[in-house]
């Protein structure tokens, strides 16, 4: 399985009563499809899966699966703090129709590398799915190390790693060590162009929720071979991406959706709302992109 193009790490819209807003969700997905995204990644960290019940998570997976058209890739976030829960979530996603899952390291527990390897193998043993690993040490507290990746590199179901460390050297190393075995997938949005240069054919992108057209345009421009133009487009994107990485990522993404005309509500606690100053800064950064 080969992933390519821009795949939004989807927000989960909530209504005024703090319930999943499927009407807003449909409008949002329709807007993203028109922008040219290549598939869907529900229930990642941008989707606030950590604040949702199992029933809500299942409903979201079913909704996105039903919305998807043939040819659009589907990757389900099935993360949880315990291996047993991840297996349950993954089996449920498989039943709904997802053949690929995105798995960060289990949060809070901070397993050792040997424990993490056993965790991934347990999921793969229990469920017939493809795996995209998700390396995000600033959020999860541990890194998916190269010894662990070495141990999984020849498993054909381990198809990629979403690299969100923000460390470009990691991208270079992954390309050098695993090219043709584990695909590098861009997850460090403010250096996405650098990742493309080092072999990332797919960008699982939270900011695509509110700037999909610009992200898709960057990806297509790079694929066309016009590197100078791609650099110009990344320069326009960079300030907004950098502000997103500075904190309150999901809140800013949702505010960006509001600014582009597809409001998706606010975040669930403990994530709080943006201050007026934060709104002003992000609105200024995203304005050139939305225009």
Identify each DSSP E strand in the chain by its residue range. Answer: 5-8, 39-40, 73-74, 76-77, 100-104, 130-135, 158-163, 183-186, 202-205
Phi, psi of 261 (to 5 degrees): 95, 10
Maximum Cα–Cα distance for the chain, whole Å?
Answer: 50
As a whole number of angstroms, the distance between CA 272 and CA 249 comes to: 11
**Does 46 show up as a binding residue in the annotation?**
yes
As a whole number of angstroms, the distance between CA 89 and CA 76 comes to: 9
Q: How do strand 100-104 and strand 130-135 relate by DSSP bridges?
A: parallel
Nearest CA to 270 out of 50, 80, 77 is that of 50
139 belongs to the catalytic site: no
As a whole number of angstroms, the distance between CA 155 and CA 119 comes to: 15
**Does 109 show up as a binding residue in the annotation?**
no
The tokens describing 84, both together, are 């047993």
* Spatial CB neighbours of 222, under 8 Å, sequence gap ≥ 6: 193, 196, 197, 230
Active-site choice (134, 136, 178, 255): 134
Cβ atoms of 73 and 39 within 8 Å: the answer is: yes
49 belongs to the catalytic site: no
Helix (H, G, I), strand (E, B) or coil at 176: helix
As a whole number of angstroms, the distance between CA 167 and CA 174 comes to: 11
Q: At what angle do helices 227-245 and 249-259 cross, to 10 degrees?
A: 120
Active-site choice (49, 136, 162, 254): 162
Annotated binding site: 46, 204
Annotated binding site for pyruvate: 46, 204
**Which residues are the active-site residues?**
134, 162
């Amino acid at each position: 399985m080969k992933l390519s193009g821009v795949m939004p790490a989807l927000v989960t819209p909530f209504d005024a009563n703090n319930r999943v807003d499927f009407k807003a969700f449909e409008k949002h997905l329709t807007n993203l499809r028109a922008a040219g995204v290549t598939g869907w990644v529900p229930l990642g960290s941008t989707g606030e899966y950590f604040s949702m019940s199992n029933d809500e998570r299942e409903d979201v997976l079913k909704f996105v699966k039903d919305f998807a058209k043939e040819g659009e890739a589907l990757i389900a976030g099935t993360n949880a703090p315990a291996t047993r829960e991840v297996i349950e979530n993954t089996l449920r996603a498989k039943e709904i129709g997802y053949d690929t899952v995105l798995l960060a390291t289990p949060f809070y527990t901070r397993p050792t590398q040997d424990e993490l390897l056993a965790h991934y193998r347990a999921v793969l043993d229990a469920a017939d799915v493809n795996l995209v690993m998700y390396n995000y040490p600033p959020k999860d507290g541990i890194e998916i190390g190269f010894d662990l990746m070495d141990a999984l590199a020849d498993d054909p179901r381990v198809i990629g790693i979403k690299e969100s460390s923000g460390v470009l050297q990691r991208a270079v190393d992954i390309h050098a060590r695993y090219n043709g075995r584990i695909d590098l997938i861009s997850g460090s949005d403010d250096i996405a162009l650098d990742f493309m240069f080092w072999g990332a054919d797919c960008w699982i992108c939270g900011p695509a929720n509110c700037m999909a057209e610009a992200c898709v345009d960057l990806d297509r421009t790079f694929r066309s071979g016009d590197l100078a133009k791609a650099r110009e487009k990344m320069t326009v994107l960079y300030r907004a991406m950098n502000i997103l990485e500075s904190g309150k990522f999901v809140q800013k993404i949702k505010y960006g959706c509001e600014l582009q005309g597809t409001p998706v509500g606010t975040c669930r606690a403990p994530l709080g709302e943006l201050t007026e100053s934060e709104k002003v800064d992000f609105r200024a950064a995203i304005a050139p992109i939305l225009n």
